[in-house]
């Protein structure tokens, strides 16, 4: 007997042997047992997950001599021929090569024939999405009302390409990707039966490379067995699969964690020298960052890690006391790098510069840690700064460090640090709050004589209401309530003698600043001046929005201050109807052009030579074109 590939040799023949698709096999079993067999089924899903296998097993269940039954005997002629692919009542069609209207027409001609031996005539069309639109339309009527002995089984990897008119006529079953653990269990059964020595770690690498496809995993297993024989170590399995050595990946991760870019560059150099695919290296490093993030995220998140136990313990040791945000930021950076490495003609340079980028990324502190630090700082400020000193007095003590209470109050600071207006206000408050001193006794009354050093200190007086309060809450209170502070007067600024003319001159100077502030020159008018604030009006919301973007620029304010001394701010407002008498720069220029044109018309009519030409030719003056533009007013 010739050699048969593992994927074909170990292909399931019954529903019990199909793994990872329990939701599909259970539904088909119940449909057979309850005699609720639909006339058309659509199996969709990724490659190698069991679509065609389930279709063939379903066909055996329908045409078994002991059926329809969910447990075909496997020994009758129908079961044997269906398994061998030679059953006359099971017609397998490749949709990629039989996708025309003529092919569907031939199929419709055979639909009316009764099955040769079985109960049903079954049409299994693989890759049905490859049919043309005309072929789908030709199949619609037969698909909707087929003969009672016909069952259609469709399989496809791209259900979005199938018309809705077809989808509405079939029962759809979505096949899922097979979990890696289920694939490893199936591969273990195969290698034990084949007598091949492979560790669970090697089988896990094969299942991870299969990406949820049982057929791909079995094909990779067949390739590994052909490479290594009966006993295959893990490093040879990784080599034949093209996987990067895990020590290089962990070396890259450790270099980032300890802040040693040299280790990262050494790992990249080793990957390049060994001939590994750099996009494959970045892809596996992304998976390693994901695993590290799940390790530190929570205890429950580690359930989703499909890695060996020793690798999980190694990640727990490396990532101890780290926040998940570190790995999430690295993952985002490496995700962009992976795309660039896959497209770049110099992938090594891109990856090395990514290391330089990651090496300069500062670790962020969690928000709750920052909030806790702020709360501690606020508590110290509320408690009066540093811990209270041991010496007597509130701010005294023999300690060498200064506390918040050692900072002089604002009234005690040098007079040069305070503005003149604020100094006068504080002096006025102090004069109103202090009681008038007696002219007869200007000196304060002498206090009691100081007690000798040896004498026993006198008993302190009973605490008052203010003294009983905590030290942190006590504040010196004036003998009499201070009056409310007087409002600061508006700074008086002398406006120009002719504000409108001054604004026009300012606009002419603003025009020299460039196109960025041209809106002030062309579309603004002077509304008024309130102290040191100049109000500029605009006629529309569009020009108002543009004006507000430029009135705050320092160069604009400096230019305006040359014509309006003392102005500290410009406010852009919407121009009211009462300002209609004023004209913007654009309006003044248009008016000047119109006046210049009317003057040219008058001069043309008054010119004797022009009048003589008009009279002799019997013509009229149609247009007067100025040779020069008028100057801006």
Residue pLDDT, tens place only, 53-72: 999 999 999 999 887 888 99
Percentage of the chain beyond pLDDT 90 is 19
**Is residue 582 scored above 60 in pLDDT?**
yes
Region of 117 on the Ramachandran plot (φ > 0 left; ψ -120 to 50 alpha; else beta) = alpha
- Does the domain spanning 6-174 belong to CATH 2.160.10.10? no
Average of pLDDT values for 163-181? 91
Long-range contacts of 357-365 (CB under 8 A, 24+ apart): 357/333, 358/256, 358/264, 358/330, 358/333, 358/334, 359/256, 359/259, 359/261, 359/264, 361/329, 361/330, 361/333, 363/323, 363/326, 364/323, 364/325, 364/326, 364/329
Question: Comparing 88-97, 304-313, 383-392, which segment has the lowest mean pLDDT?
Answer: 383-392
Model pLDDT, residue 438: 43
- Whether pLDDT at 408 is above 50: no
The Cβ of residue 488 has, within 10 Å, a number of other Cβ atoms equal to 9
pLDDT for 26? 93
pLDDT value of residue 594? 86
CB neighbours of residue 12 within 10 Å: 18
In 33-88, at which residue ranges do the beta strands (DSSP E only) sit?
A: 40-44
How far apart, in whole angstroms, are the C-alpha atoms of residue 333 and residue 327?
A: 10
Question: What is the pLDDT, as a whole number, of residue 491?
Answer: 53
Mean pLDDT (whole number) for 556-575: 87
How many CB atoms lie under 10 A from the CB of residue 349? 11
Eight-class DSSP state of 303: G
pLDDT at 124 over 60: yes
pLDDT score at 610? 84
The dihedral sign for the CA sequence 255, 259, 265, 268 = positive
Q: Please, what is the Cα angle at 490 between 489 and 491, to 5 degrees? A: 110
Higher local confidence (pLDDT), 437 or 233: 233
HSE of 96, CA atoms in CB hemisphere, 13 A: 6
Cis check: omega of the bond before 583, within 30 degrees of 0 = no
Report, as an integer, the average pLDDT of 5-10.
Answer: 89
- Cα–Cα distance measured from residue 52 to residue 58, given in angstroms and rounded to the nearest whole number: 10
Question: Which residues of the chain are in CATH 3.30.300.180 domains?
Answer: 499-582
pLDDT at 397 over 60: no
Task: Reply yes or no on whether the pLDDT at 429 is more than 70.
Answer: no
Give the span between the Cα atoms of 279 and 342, in whole angstroms.
Answer: 5
Q: Which residue has the higher pLDDT, 411 or 137?
A: 137
pLDDT band at 401 (very low <50, low <70, confident <90, very high): very low
As a whole number, mean pLDDT of residues 182-211 equals 89
Q: What is the mean pLDDT of the chain?
A: 79
Check whether 147 has a pLDDT greater than 60.
yes
Lowest average pLDDT, out of 443-447, 508-512, 535-539, 580-584, goes to 443-447
- pLDDT band for position 403 (cuts 50, 70, 90): very low
Q: Which pLDDT score, from 0 to 100, does residue 219 have?
A: 92
Q: Indicate the range of 275-279, 464-468, 515-519, 595-599 predicted with least confidence.
A: 464-468
pLDDT at 581: 60
Lowest mean per-residue pLDDT among 228-242, 261-275, 364-378? 364-378
| Mean pLDDT computed over 578-596 | 75
Which of 16-25, 108-117, 169-178, 581-590 has the weakest average pLDDT? 581-590
Look at residue 366 in the predicted model and tell me its pLDDT. 65
> Within its chain, how far is the Cα of 372 from the centroid?
27
Check pLDDT > 90 for residue 170.
yes
Q: Is the pLDDT of residue 193 over 70?
A: yes
Q: In the predicted model, is pLDDT for residue 216 greater than 50?
A: yes
End-to-end CA distance of the chain: give it in Å, rounded.
106
- CATH 3.30.300.180, applies to 499-582: yes
Q: How confident is the model at residue 319 (pLDDT cuts 50, 70, 90)?
A: confident
Domain 180-241 is found in CATH 1.10.730.10: no
Q: What pLDDT, on the 0 to 100 scale, is given for residue 101?
A: 92
Quick one: pLDDT at residue 416?
42
- Distance, CA of 236 to CA of 234 (rounded, Å): 5
Would you state the pLDDT for residue 627? 77
Q: Give residues with Cβ within 8 angstroms of 298, minimum separation 6.
A: none
| pLDDT over 60 at 566, yes or no | yes
Q: What is the pLDDT of residue 273?
A: 84
> What average pLDDT score do residues 525-534 get?
84
Share of the chain above pLDDT 70, in %: 80
Tell me: pLDDT of 476 over 60. Answer: no
Check: pTM over 0.85? Answer yes or no. no
Within the chain, all domains assigned CATH 1.10.8.60 are found at: 180-241
Domain limits, CATH 1.20.272.10, in the chain: 246-359
* Whether residue 77 has pLDDT greater than 60: yes
**Long-range contacts of 180-187, Cβ-Cβ distance < 8 Å, separation of 24 or more:** 180/204, 180/207, 180/208, 180/212, 180/306, 181/207, 181/306, 182/19, 182/20, 183/20, 183/207, 183/210, 183/212, 183/214, 183/217, 185/19, 186/19, 186/214, 186/217, 187/217, 187/218, 187/221
| H helical segments located in 456-540 | 465-468, 499-511, 518-523
pLDDT greater at residue 616 or residue 142 = 142
What integer is the mean pLDDT of 280-287? 90
Whether 292 contacts 319, CB under 8 Å:
yes
Question: What is the rounded average pLDDT of the residues 588-593?
Answer: 82
What's the topology of domain 246-359? Zinc Finger, Delta Prime; domain 3 (1.20.272)
Q: Which residues of 18-27 are buried (b: 16+ CB within 10 A; e: fewer)?
A: bbbbeebbee
Over 70: is that where the pLDDT of 406 sits?
A: no
CA 52 distance to own-chain centroid: 40
Tell me the mean pLDDT in the region 33-41: 92
Q: Quote the pLDDT of residue 622.
A: 80
What confidence category does residue 31 fall into, taking pLDDT thresholds of 50, 70 and 90?
very high
């Amino acid at each position: 007997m010739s050699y048969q590939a593992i994927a074909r040799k170990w292909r399931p023949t019954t529903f019990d042997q199909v793994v990872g698709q329990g939701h599909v096999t259970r539904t088909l079993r119940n449909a057979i047992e309850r005699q609720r067999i639909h006339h058309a089924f659509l199996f969709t899903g990724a490659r190698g997950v069991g679509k065609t296998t389930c279709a063939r097993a379903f066909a055996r269940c329908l045409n078994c001599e002991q059926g329809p039954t969910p447990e075909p005997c496997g020994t009758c002629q129908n079961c044997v021929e269906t398994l061998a692919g030679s059953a006359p009542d099971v017609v397998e069609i490749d949709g990629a090569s039989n996708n025309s209207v003529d092919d569907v027409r031939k199929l419709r001609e055979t639909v009316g024939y009764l099955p040769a031996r079985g109960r049903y005539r079954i049409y299994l069309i693989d890759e049905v999405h490859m049919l043309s639109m005309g072929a789908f339309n030709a199949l619609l009527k037969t698909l909707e009302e087929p003969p009672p002995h016909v069952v259609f089984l469709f399989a496809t990897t791209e259900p979005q390409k199938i018309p809705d008119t077809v989808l509405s006529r079939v029962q759809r079953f979505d096949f899922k990707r097979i979990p890696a653990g289920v694939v490893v269990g199936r591969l273990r059964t195969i290698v034990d039966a084949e007598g091949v020595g492979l560790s669970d770690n090697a089988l896990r690498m094969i299942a991870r490379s299969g990406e949820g496809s049982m057929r791909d995993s079995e094909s990779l297993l067949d390739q590994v067995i052909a490479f290594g024989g009966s006993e295959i170590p893990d490093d040879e399995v990784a080599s034949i699969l093209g996987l990067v050595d895990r020590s290089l990946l962990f070396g890259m991760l450790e270099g980032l964690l300890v802040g040693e870019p040299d280790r990262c560059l050494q790992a990249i150099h080793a990957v390049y020298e060994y001939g590994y695919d750099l996009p494959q290296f970045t892809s596996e490093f992304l998976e390693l960052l994901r695993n590290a993030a799940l390790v530190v995220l929570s205890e429950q998140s580690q359930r989703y890690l499909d890695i060996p136990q020793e690798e999980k313990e190694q990640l727990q040791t490396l990532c101890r006391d780290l926040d998940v945000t570190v790995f999430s930021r690295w993952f985002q950076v490496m995700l962009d790098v992976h795309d660039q490495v896959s497209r770049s003609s110099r992938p090594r340079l891109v990856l090395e510069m990514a290391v330089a980028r990651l090496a300069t990324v500062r670790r962020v502190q969690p928000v709750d840690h920052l909030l806790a630090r702020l709360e501690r700082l606020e508590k110290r400020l509320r408690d009066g700064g540093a811990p209270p000193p041991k010496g007597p007095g509130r701010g005294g003590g023999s300690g060498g460090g200064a506390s918040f209470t050692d900072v002089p109050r604002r009234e005690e600071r040098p007079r040069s640090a305070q503005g003149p207006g604020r100094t006068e206000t504080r002096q006025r408050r102090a004069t109103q709050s202090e009681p008038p001193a007696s002219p007869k006794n200007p000196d304060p009354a002498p206090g009691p004589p100081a007690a000798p050093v040896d004498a026993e200190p006198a008993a302190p007086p009973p605490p008052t209401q203010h003294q009983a309060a905590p030290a942190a809450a006590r504040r010196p209170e004036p003998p009499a309530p201070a009056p409310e502070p007087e409002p600061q007067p508006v700074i008086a600024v002398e406006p120009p003698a002719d504000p409108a003319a001054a604004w026009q001159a300012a606009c002419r100077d603003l025009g020299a600043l460039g196109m960025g502030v041209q809106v002030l020159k062309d579309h603004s008018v002077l509304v008024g001046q309130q102290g040191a604030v100049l109000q500029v009006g605009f006629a529309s919301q569009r020009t108002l929005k543009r004006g507000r973007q430029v009135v705050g620029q320092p160069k604009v304010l400096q230019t305006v201050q040359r014509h309006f001394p003392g102005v500290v701010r410009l406010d852009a407002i919407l121009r009211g109807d009462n300002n209609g008498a004023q004209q913007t720069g654009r309006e003044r220029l248009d008016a000047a052009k119109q006046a210049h044109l009317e003057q040219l018309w008058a001069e043309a009519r008054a010119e004797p030579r022009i009048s003589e030409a008009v009279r002799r030719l019997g013509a009229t003056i149609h247009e007067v074109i100025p040779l020069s533009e008028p100057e801006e007013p």
